[in-house]
């Protein structure tokens, strides 16, 4: 077990990482109120664990799935917090995946202008990425994460015991973000290549998770509020991934990140902004995790959703973060139409390959 | 004209204060999008000024009044921000009183996890108090300011020209917060006593405003997130004021602060926690501004709403900030029932005086 620390002007956030992290976590709010937010899937699997560990706490269960990241669910959580009589000394516990962590984190940041929150991520994606760093959000009117806050959890409990119940698809979703870290960090890239035949094992997940968290913790410590450029890099593959996620739904966030990265690698190659061999190697890593990359017939139209991306300075110019070489990423900014047209080209090429 | 600065770990906020502040304010967002939030009263009075100064900006008008501080209005603002195509480089301008400032500030803090906001307060209350310090909020389920954030405006433009259209009742509302500062700050207390025959003049408002802002700026610089005790003092009179405000509505926030302070001075006196002569002098200052203090028949029941006060560590113990001597305040914490019973006693005494 190891502790990784994020130390920002606003707060010190400690990530307890490894086997036994959950068992050795004793809620620090002795005698204070706890409020547990979880989802319908987690509540089913871990009913006993929740009642044993958080017996006295109010437990608020939201419906599992990305569709819950909306203001109606946010409002229901805030109302339940009022009904439970939480004060400024209370603590919210987010037990679940990225959706639970994002929305419970936002609710905790807003209730009485901010009460403590502890994140206990139960999916690979939330363990390697979303539970760390204090970004909270909901979607609104078809725009991803457009309403949210920067709000660090006091503690994050990352325990691999939660991964044993995950399906292959859920592991793939987490691997989507792990591959993203592979595009940013040479050590993680090497580990991915070395383990390319066992990417879907729990052993690999347990090995790579602390590396991803450490990478993110360093970036967040340097640039908590995403203003200095460093934190922007964590959106590698996300510009197109988010656009496709909003347009096509159905697949998971992590799968869309993989698909988005694939399409953006195509753009980097077309613009001569990446070495061909490295791009080939990276694309084959993506296919290993994601399987066949969809050749979306209306990819160009879907790509136009990227005009709402938070990284854009104006809506008419799309910003994306793309790998350039091992451990090196770059920002590519293109006029919206040119970007969408290149995305369409990539889809056409994929279509051709499938014939 | 003078500049007062709040310099916190999160941001530097500059308050431009005095005649000419508005005329010399040039939106710093040249070439970037502006989004003006105002209310139906202000939009009517300042229609020309808004179109001259903010010609190209989207203008979002909310209904005037405290009732607009709710999540439906918040959501309508966020949706309008999306529809207007705001990016992270855009700036929100809050032109109006406390309600506009609180809700526009919250919307700006949430949109894309925070975009710039400039506060242009148009009421005496928002000029001396609510526009400064970065507290934003809405009410929910009968609990005052229970959903909000700490989010400093980049700039605050405090220009007395806006005060000329205010009614006596609106001036009284602002004087409620000014009297609060009188309970915290000896210099402001002396100025109130010296000017007690011209409290409702614009001349006095212009003289006292920078003193109140400077007091608040010092407190907020020392304790931005209201965790160190200093900022708590700014809630003098507000525990009972908020409880009555939620229970009785009808009167303005500032009037309830005056009434709340009066009732809490009664408690301090009953508990021997204040000098009798000072209490007499302070009560007569309050009556000068507020007129007759209402002898609420169900004051004891109304006081129970104070259990939700954010200053309470647990709901069963009520925290309030009460003046003790010139320039000195104190925290008094009482069991909920004892507090409510003393509030009932004060109402009964007021009732007796009226016979």
Chain segment A227-266, per-residue pLDDT in tens: 888 999 999 999 999 999 989 988 889 999 999 999 999 9
Q: Which residues contact B194 (CB under 8 A, 6 or more apart)?
A: none
Q: Write the pLDDT tens digit of every residue in B251-307.
A: 889 999 999 999 999 999 999 999 999 999 999 999 999 999 999 999 999 999 999
The residue in chain B having the minimum alpha-carbon distance to the alpha carbon of residue A140 is B79
Helix (H) or strand (E) holding A68: none
Nearest to residue A16, comparing CAs of A141, A160, A152? A160
Helix (H) or strand (E) holding A67: none
Interface residue of B74, B146, B316 to substitute, partner A, most A CBs within 10 Å: B146
pLDDT at A142: 87
Instruction: Say if residue A194 is exposed, middle or buried (CB neighbours under 10 Å; 0-12, 13-18, 19+).
Output: exposed
Model pTM score: 0.92
Query: Would you call A143 and B82 a contact, using CB atoms and an 8 Å cutoff?
Result: yes
Nearest to residue B23, comparing CAs of B120, B117, B111, B93? B120
Which of A113-117, A173-177, B56-60, B72-76 is predicted with the least confidence, judged by mean pLDDT? Answer: B56-60
Please check whether residue A310 is in contact with residue A145, taking contact to mean a CB–CB distance below 8 angstroms: yes
pLDDT at A60: 98
> CA triplet A318, A319, A320: central angle to 5 degrees?
120
pLDDT at B54: 87
What residues of A are in the B interface, CB distance below 8 Å? 9-10, 71, 75, 78-79, 82-83, 85, 87-89, 109-114, 135-137, 140-141, 143, 145-150, 225-226, 308, 310, 312-315
Which of A52-61, B237-246, B255-264, B329-338 is predicted with the least confidence, judged by mean pLDDT? Answer: A52-61
Q: Which residues of B touch A220 (CB under 8 A)?
A: none
* B9, B82, B87 ranked by CB distance to A314: nearest: B87
pLDDT at A68: 96
- E strands in A47-105: 58-62, 91-96
pLDDT at A250: 86
3-state SS, chain B, equals CEEEEEECCCCEEEEEECCCCCCCCCCCCCCCCEEEEEEHHHHHHCHHHHHHHCCCCEEEEECCCHHHCCHHHHHHHHHHHHHCCCCCCCEEEEEECHHHHHHHHHHHHHECCCCEEEEEECCHHHHHHHCCCCEEEEEECCEEEEEEEECCCCEEEECHHHHHHCCHHHHHHHHHHHHHHHCCCHHHHHHHHHCCCCCCCHHHHHHHHHHHHHHHHHHHHHCCCCCCCCHHHHHCCHHHHHHHHHHHCCCCHHHHHHHHHHHHHHHHHHCCCCCHHHHHHHHHHHHHHHCCCCCCCCHHHHHHHHHHCCCCCCCCEEEEEEEEECCEEEEEEEEHHHHHHHHHHHHHHHHHHHC
Mean pLDDT of B32-54: 92
CB atoms within 10 A of CB B1: 12
Percent of chain B clearing pLDDT 70 (strictly above): 98
Query: Would you call B314 and A88 a contact, using CB atoms and an 8 Å cutoff?
Result: no
First to last CA, chain B: 49
The most confident of A223-227, A313-317, B184-188, by mean pLDDT: B184-188
| Dihedral, A127, A131, A132, A138 alpha carbons, nearest 10 | 140
Mean pLDDT of B196-216: 96
Q: A200-204: long-range contacts at Cβ-Cβ below 8 A with a sequence spacing of 24 or more?
A: A200/A168, A200/A171, A200/A172, A200/A175, A202/A160, A202/A163, A202/A164
pLDDT at B29: 45
**ipTM above 0.85 for this complex:** yes
pLDDT at B241: 97
Interface residue of A58, A141, A147 to substitute, partner B, most B CBs within 10 Å: A147
The most confident of A57-71, A215-229, A303-317, by mean pLDDT: A57-71
pLDDT at B9: 76
Query: Would you call A111 and B147 a contact, using CB atoms and an 8 Å cutoff?
Result: yes
In terms of pLDDT, which residue wins out, A28 or B317?
B317
What is the least distance, in Å, from the CA of B179 to any CA of chain A? 25
B70 vs B56: CA distance, rounded Å = 28
Q: Write the pLDDT tens digit of every residue in B147-205.
A: 999 999 999 999 999 999 999 999 999 999 999 999 999 999 999 999 999 999 999 99
Query: Would you call A111 and B135 a contact, using CB atoms and an 8 Å cutoff?
Result: no
What is the least distance, in Å, from the CA of B206 to any CA of chain A? 31
pLDDT at A265: 98
What is the least distance, in Å, from the CA of B63 to any CA of chain A? 22
A94 vs A77: CA distance, rounded Å = 12
pLDDT at A10: 74
Q: Which residues of A touch B312 (CB under 8 A)?
A: 87
Please check whether residue B138 is in contact with residue B106, taking contact to mean a CB–CB distance below 8 angstroms: yes
DSSP code, position A128:
I
Using 50, 70 and 90 to split pLDDT, how confident is the model at A151? Answer: very high
Helix (H) or strand (E) holding A138: strand A135-140
How many residues in total does chain B contain?
A: 355
pLDDT at A29: 45
Instruction: Say if residue B291 is exposed, middle or buried (CB neighbours under 10 Å; 0-12, 13-18, 19+).
Output: exposed
Q: Which residues of A touch B154 (CB under 8 A)?
A: none
* A71, A79, A114 ranked by CB distance to B141: nearest: A79
Bin B166: left if φ > 0, else alpha if -120 < ψ < 50, else beta: beta
Query: Would you call B114 and A150 a contact, using CB atoms and an 8 Å cutoff?
Result: yes
Please check whether residue A118 is in contact with residue A1, taking contact to mean a CB–CB distance below 8 angstroms: no
B204 vs B209: CA distance, rounded Å = 8
Tell whether the model's pLDDT for residue A163 goes beyond 90: yes
The residue in chain B having the minimum alpha-carbon distance to the alpha carbon of residue A135 is B113
Query: Would you call A147 and B310 a contact, using CB atoms and an 8 Å cutoff?
Result: no
pLDDT at B38: 98
Q: Which residues contact A158 (CB under 8 A, 6 or more apart)?
A: A15, A16, A17, A18, A21, A121, A127, A131, A209, A213
Query: Would you call A113 and B148 a contact, using CB atoms and an 8 Å cutoff?
Result: yes
The residue in chain A having the minimum alpha-carbon distance to the alpha carbon of residue B307 is A85
pLDDT at B332: 97
Q: Which residues of B touch A315 (CB under 8 A)?
A: 85, 87
pLDDT at A30: 53
Tell whether the model's pLDDT for residue A217 goes beyond 50: yes
If you average pLDDT over every residue of chain A, what do you get? Answer: 94
Percent of chain A clearing pLDDT 90 (strictly above): 85
Query: Would you call A146 and B112 a contact, using CB atoms and an 8 Å cutoff?
Result: yes
Q: Which residues pair with A13 in a beta bridge?
A: A6
């Amino acid at each position: 077990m190891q502790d990784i620390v994020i130390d920002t002007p606003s707060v010190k956030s400690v990530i307890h990482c490894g086997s036994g992290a959950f068992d050795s976590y004793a809620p620090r709010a002795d005698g204070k109120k706890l409020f547990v937010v979880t989802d319908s899937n987690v509540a089913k699997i871990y009913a006993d664990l929740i009642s044993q560990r958080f017996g006295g706490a109010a437990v608020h269960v939201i419906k599992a799935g990305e569709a819950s990241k909306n203001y109606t669910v946010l409002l229901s959580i805030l109302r339940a917090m009022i009904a439970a009589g939480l004060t400024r000394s209370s603590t919210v516990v987010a037990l679940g995946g990225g959706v639970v962590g994002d929305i419970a984190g936002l609710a905790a940041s807003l209730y009485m202008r901010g009460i403590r929150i502890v994140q206990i991520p139960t999916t690979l994606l939330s363990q390697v990425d979303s539970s760390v760093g204090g970004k909270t959000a909901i979607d609104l009117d078809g725009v991803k994460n457009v309403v949210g806050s920067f709000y660090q959890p006091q503690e994050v409990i990352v325990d691999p015991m939660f991964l044993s119940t995950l399906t292959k698809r859920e592991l793939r979703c987490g691997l989507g973000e792990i591959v993203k870290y592979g595009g940013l960090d040479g050590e993680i890239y090497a580990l991915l290549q070395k383990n390319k035949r066992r990417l879907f094992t729990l052993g690999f997940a347990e090995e790579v998770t602390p590396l991803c968290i450490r990478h993110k913790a360093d970036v967040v410590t340097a640039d908590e509020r995403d203003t200095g450029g460093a934190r922007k890099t964590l959106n590698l593959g996300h510009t197109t991934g988010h656009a496709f996620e909003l347009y096509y739904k159905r697949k998971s966030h992590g799968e869309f990140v993989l698909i988005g990265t694939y399409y953006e690698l195509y753009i980097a190659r077309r613009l001569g902004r990446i070495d061909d061999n490295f791009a080939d190697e990276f694309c084959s890593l993506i296919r290993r995790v994601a399987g066949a990359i969809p050749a979306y017939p209306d990819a160009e139209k879907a790509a136009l959703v990227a005009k709402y991306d938070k990284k854009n300075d104006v809506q008419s110019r799309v910003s994306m973060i793309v790998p350039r070489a091992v451990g090196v990423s770059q920002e590519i900014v293109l006029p919206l139409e040119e970007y969408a047209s290149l995305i369409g080209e990539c889809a056409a090429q994929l279509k051709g390959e499938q014939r």
